[in-house]
Copies of this chain bind each other. A is one copy, B any other.
C-alpha cells in the first residue's frame, strides 16, 4: 500500500537535464538537510515539515521523491553506510602489520574520531549510529552489517592473535567488548559532560585518552591471557 507507486529511485538521470519547472535539486537539498537533522535528533524526533522547511522544499516533496519518511531515512542510512566502509579502512592497518601495532592504530584513530565527532566532517555518521542504537529503526540492520560487524571481526582477529587462541574463544569477545566499550564511552554525551573532571574535547585530551585506553587494554589482554 505504500512504497513504490512513485519513482523511488532518482527520478531524473544525471546529465543536468532538469525537467519540470523546479530548480531540480530539491531531492538533493532534502537529502542534505535530512542527514543533518536525523543525525542530530533521530528518526522519531524529526518531522517531515522540519526537513522540508530547512530544505526550502514543499511538504509533499518527501513523499514524491522518497515514497515516505522512512524511505528518505533509509536513503540517508544507505549513504552513511557507504561512507562507513571508507572510514573503516582508515582504522585498519595494512595486512601483515604486527597485532600490537594494529590495535594501536585502531584505538589511536578511532577514539579521537569518536571524541571529536563534532569537529569531524563525517561526524554526523556517528551521531546517526548513536541514534540508531538508542532507538533502532529498520536502518539498524544496515548500520550493523556495514559498520559494526566489520569492526568487531577486525578487532577479534587482533585480540585472538594477541591472546594466542582461537577467534571463537570466549575471552576474545570479552576483550573486544572491553576495548570497544572504552572507545565508545568517549562519544560526546551531555550526561558525561556534567561529571567533574571529565575531559574537555580537544585533540590533546583525545590523544591522551587514546594512549590510556591502549595501555590499559594491552595490559588487560596480557592479564586475561595469563588466566586462560
A interface residues with partner B (beta carbon < 8 Å): 42, 44-45, 133-136, 140, 144, 148-149, 152, 156, 168, 170-175, 177-178, 180-182, 184-186, 189-191, 194-195, 197-199, 208-209, 211-213, 215-224, 227
Contact = CB atoms under 8 A, between A and B. Distances in A.
18 contacts: A42-B135, A133-B189, A136-B190, A149-B195, A156-B197, A174-B199, A175-B212, A178-B182, A178-B212, A181-B181, A181-B182, A212-B224, A215-B223, A216-B221, A217-B220, A219-B220, A219-B222, A219-B223
A51 B224 CA distance: 47
Copies in the complex: 2
Contacts of A156: 197
A212 B221 CA distance: 10
Across the A-B interface, give the 5 residue pairs with the lowest CB-CB distance, nearest first. Answer: A219-B223, A216-B220, A181-B185, A134-B134, A219-B219
Given A134-B135, A182-B181, A191-B136, A220 B224 contact: no
Contacts of A197: 156, 168, 170, 172-173
